[in-house]
Chain A
């Protein structure tokens, strides 16, 4: 992560701040082929954590690929589940 104080020579483009990289990844997940709004992306110290449930293993792999592209050079941790599509084993009684 690089803060404003670490900017280079005057006139040089500022390096992208981590929180904006995270925001752009969130936009990319939502706007791209995935249409994924359900993955939470949080900065945890020097790392980034992605959590949530996605509809398929392919979606999970796509989220990881996009995150690795957008957050290259940073440690990224994943805790992504594929949504369970099994039948329920009980009903709720609304007495």
Chain B
């Protein structure tokens, strides 16, 4: 059994230093890895990223993160990424990483993802250049996730996890206004997950959403936005079934 801790949307700012650290210091007792599902800052400034960095430095478990839309607001996502990497986090965008815990291999594929909506109610790649680029960007994010998951399929992982900020499914958005679903996620992410395969998908972004969902292909989805889970993180125990079957 592999223990995956996850949280998103911690939205740290200058007044946040030390808020999560006491809970994070319990992670070695209850988890093998901590996943951060984006929106780690409020505006994506280096100062806010340094607050996050101090919260996650030397936690005793590997930390894997994706950025969220807030982390892009200051137009310096590379600086935010570098600050988190200096703190020991692996920050993914269309990439994969493998962490090991007690001999088990945990593969994580990550992308921020983007919006566009869900099947039958989604934006199309048509019309004005901005509209086409909106959908193409979402597709590039999903393609990056699929490629990363496919890479992990060849790396003898016991568990593969898809980590995104935007949601792959509408179920975990329940509680949000229906009208804003196209800004909260994209079915392209779910299609990537179901095409490449995964044991769990974790996302944030939808503060008023619901924790539990599932892709059409049967992959469990968890919305770990901190306002949704109401804790510093949640822990999921994933059986190592793939290797046994």
Docked CA distance A55–B16 (Å): 8
Judging by beta carbons under 8 Å apart, are B207 and A91 in contact? no
* A92: interface (CB < 8 Å): yes
Question: Which of B11, B177, B233, B235 is packed against the most chain A CB atoms within 10 Å?
Answer: B11
Chain B neighbourhood of A75, CB < 8 A:
none
Q: Smallest distance from the beta carbon of B147 to chain A beta carbons, Å? A: 25
* A15: interface (CB < 8 Å): no
* A2: interface (CB < 8 Å): no
**Range for the number of chain A residues in contact with chain B:** 20 to 34
Contact of A56 with B16 at beta-carbon distance under 8 Å, contacts A34-B42, A91-B30, A94-B220 already known: yes
Instruction: Mark each residue of chain B from 217 to 244: 1 if its CB lies under 8 Å from any CB of chain A, else 0.
Output: 0001000001101111111111100000
Main secondary structure of the interface of A (DSSP, over half): loop
Contact of A38 with B236 at beta-carbon distance under 8 Å, contacts A52-B227, A55-B12, A84-B231 already known: no
Closest B residue to A91 by CB, please name it.
B235
Docked CA distance A86–B26 (Å): 10
Judging by beta carbons under 8 Å apart, are A92 and B237 in contact? yes
Instruction: Mark each residue of chain B from 13 to 29: 1 if its CB lies under 8 Å from any CB of chain A, else 0.
Output: 10110011011001000
Chain A neighbourhood of B207, CB < 8 A:
37-38, 52-53
Docked CA distance A76–B232 (Å): 30
Instruction: Mark each residue of chain A from 23 to 48: 1 if its CB lies under 8 Å from any CB of chain B, else 0.
Output: 00000000000111110100000000
What would 14 more interface pairs be, CB under 8 Å, given A55-B226, A86-B231, A94-B200? A38-B11, A38-B208, A53-B207, A55-B10, A55-B19, A83-B230, A86-B23, A87-B23, A88-B231, A91-B30, A91-B234, A92-B234, A92-B237, A94-B236
Chain A residues in the interface with B (C-beta under 8 A): 34-38, 40, 52-53, 55-56, 58-59, 81, 83-88, 91-95
A–B pairs, 8, beta carbons within 8 Å = A36-B42, A37-B70, A37-B207, A55-B16, A56-B13, A86-B231, A88-B231, A92-B234
